[in-house]
Amino acid sequence: MPSSLTHPVIPIAIAIAAGRGRVGWALLAAGIAASVLPDIDFAGYWLRIPHESDFAHRGAMHSLCFALLVAAVGALCARHLRAAPGVAFAFILAAGASHGFLDMLTHGGRGVMYFWPFSGERYFLPWQPLSSMPRSLTYGFHSDGAAALRAEVRWVWLPCLALAFAIRIGHRS
C-alpha cells in the first residue's frame, strides 16, 4: 500500500486544479480523510480477521461502493463542509476512490477488491511502479521505506501536482 502521506496528494491536487475558493478547508479536510479512511481495515490484522474475508485489508473498504457510501455521507454533511451537496459528493468520491486505485499500483499484497460487493476478485493494475510500505510506524527511516517513498514522490506526487498546477494555470489564461 502507498504511504498515508501519499493518499492525500489526490484531494490536494484536485483542490489546486479547481482553484482558490472552490474547495474550502473543511471540504479539503473531508477529502483527505476519505483518501486515507479505507486503511482503517488494516486493524483487521490485529483483530485477526482472516485474510480471505471481504473485510480484511484491501477488501470492502477499498471498493468503489465504500467510496460511494463515504461520498453520500459527505453530501449529507455538505452544509457543514461549506459546499454544495453535488460538489461535496464528487470531491469526496474522487478522493475516496483514489485510495484503491493507488493501492492497485503497488506490487505487494493481495490486490484490491475494487468492485466489491459485485465481485470478490482482487485487482492490481498492469503497471505497478509502487512498493507496498513496510508495516512499521517508522517505515520512512528504513531503506525499503525510503525507497518506497521516493517512488511515490516520483510516480504520484510530482505527476499529480504538476497536472494540478498545469490545469490551474490553464484556467487563468
How do the domains of the chain map onto residue ranges?
9-166
40 contacts 61 by C-beta, under 8 angstroms: yes
The reported pLDDT for the residue numbered 20 is 81
- Which neighbouring-strand residues pair with 130? 106
9-18 and 85-103 helices cross at what angle (nearest 10)? 140
Report the SS3 class of residue 123.
strand
91: confidence class by pLDDT, cuts 50, 70, 90: very high
Q: Which residue type does 18 have?
A: A
**Cell 498515508, residue?**
4
pLDDT in tens, 121-158: 999 999 999 987 665 555 545 667 788 899 999 999 99
Q: How far apart are CA 82 and CA 77, in angstroms?
A: 9
